[in-house]
Amino acid sequence: MNRVILIGGAPTNGKSFIARKLAAEFNLPWISTDTFRETMREIVRKEDYPHLFQFADKEVTAEEYLSSHTPQEIVDTQNAESTEIWKGVKGLIEHDYVWKTFIVEGVAILPALVKQLDLSKTEILPIFLIDEDRERVKNVVYTRGLWDDAKTYSDDVKGIEVEWAMLFSNYLKKEALKYTYKPYLIKDRDDFLSGLTIEVKNWLEK
């Protein structure tokens, strides 16, 4: 049976960092849902996957987008895009016969979508990262940004990024509980990674 570790969470929650660490620790391949998005944009028709292309307009800057949408609108728009990206992710999980055991991480991994998987040939470990530390999220946003280099746009809109990241984390926590998945609350990141590594090791060895 194939095994897949799924790591979902809001931007700033450390999905890529944790995926890299686990991949190195257990010698596993990993892929981001961002890669699925960019690949799918090259091979599917826009009219068939309209939400997949909603952020493809390079003429709209992060600052312009954030200034013209509420945090809830951003969450809803992101989730619509994630639903389209998930079609590619689901295909890989259910039909991959090369990697056998691998990691997928990204904001497009949502509890309701994970619940749709055919698990007859695949075992999954869903990890939904929840960071409720507003100051830590704010620090990431103001130093790195969510989509673009934070230095390229004004601080006036960074507060909206913080709000939507926190709103998404709260949404993801509720959805995880709704679909009977464990929400992984991040406290101290080093301790969290250490504990998660042990959990993954036990899961892979059982």
**What are the tens digits of pLDDT across the range 80-95?**
999 999 999 999 999 8
Higher pLDDT, 128 or 187: 128
pLDDT confidence of 115, banded at 50, 70, 90?
very high
Q: What is the pTM of this model?
A: 0.93
pLDDT exceeds 70 at position 57: no
Contacts 24+ apart (CB under 8 A), 174-183: 175/110, 175/111, 175/112, 176/111, 176/126, 176/128, 176/130, 178/111, 179/111, 179/112, 179/114, 179/115, 181/111, 181/114, 181/126, 181/128, 182/126, 182/128, 183/128, 183/130
Query: Which of 18-22, 64-68, 93-97, 151-155 is modeled with the greatest confidence?
Result: 18-22
Of the candidate CATH numbers 3.40.50.300, 3.40.50.261, 3.40.50.920, 3.90.1640.30, the domain formed by 2-205 belongs to: 3.40.50.300
Mean pLDDT (the chain, rounded): 91
> Residue range 156-168: average pLDDT?
91
Q: What would the two tokens of residue 4 be? A: 């897949």
Q: What pLDDT sits at residue 148?
A: 63
pLDDT confidence of 147, banded at 50, 70, 90?
low
Domain-wise residue ranges, the chain: 2-205
Contacts 24+ apart (CB under 8 A), 56-61: 61/148, 61/153
Higher pLDDT, 97 or 19: 19
